[in-house]
Each structure stands twice: as structure tokens, then as C-alpha cells.
Amino acid sequence: MAKELTGKVLSTKMKNTIVVAVEKKYRHPKYHKVLMRHKRYKAHNEGISVKVNDMVKISESRPISKQTNFIVIEKLTSKA
């Protein structure tokens, strides 16, 4: 089963690749405060027009390049 993540587009400057920031919320095991972790993923984008600040859904796939292991499934919302 492939991982599916939702995140915000940070960069579209590469030819067929975009950079997506995914936020993950978790609770600290000792202090019980809700914390946020951010991770950037490079995703292959073919045919879906996205811009910076759009929300997209990405899915894990076979390695497309050295750093690109995700593909863009769909564009969820666009920037207002």
C-alpha cells in the first residue's frame, strides 16, 4: 500500500517536479503538547497545472530520480 500525503506546494521551478511541504501533528510523549513537524517531498508532476501555495495530494511510487519518490495524484485547492 502506497503512502498518500497532503501538502502545500512550495516550488514549481523544476521541469516536471514540484516541492511539497507536508505538516504532521503529534503529541509529545512526556509533556503532551501538540507539536508540528514539517517535511519537504519532491513529487513528479505530469499534466496537472499547479502553482505555489496550492494544496495537492501526493502518493508514493517507484523512484523516478535520486530524490523523487512521489507523484502528484490531484490538486485539492488552489490559492485564492
What does the alpha-carbon distance between residue 11 and residue 54 come to, in Å, rounded to a whole number? 10
Specify the DSSP element, H or E, that contains 40.
strand 34-44
All 3 cell numbers of residue 60? 508514493
Tell me the pLDDT tens digit for each residue of 9-44.
999 999 999 999 999 999 999 999 999 999 999 999
Tell me the backbone φ, ψ of residue 57, rounded to 5 degrees: -110, 130
Residue 80 has pLDDT above 70, yes or no: no
Classified by CATH at the fold level, domain 4-77 comes out as OB fold (Dihydrolipoamide Acetyltransferase, E2P) (2.40.50)
Q: Say if residues 66 and 53 touch (Cβ distance below 8 Å).
A: no
Per domain, the residue ranges of the chain are 4-77
Query: In which residue are the cell numbers 505555489 written?
Result: 52
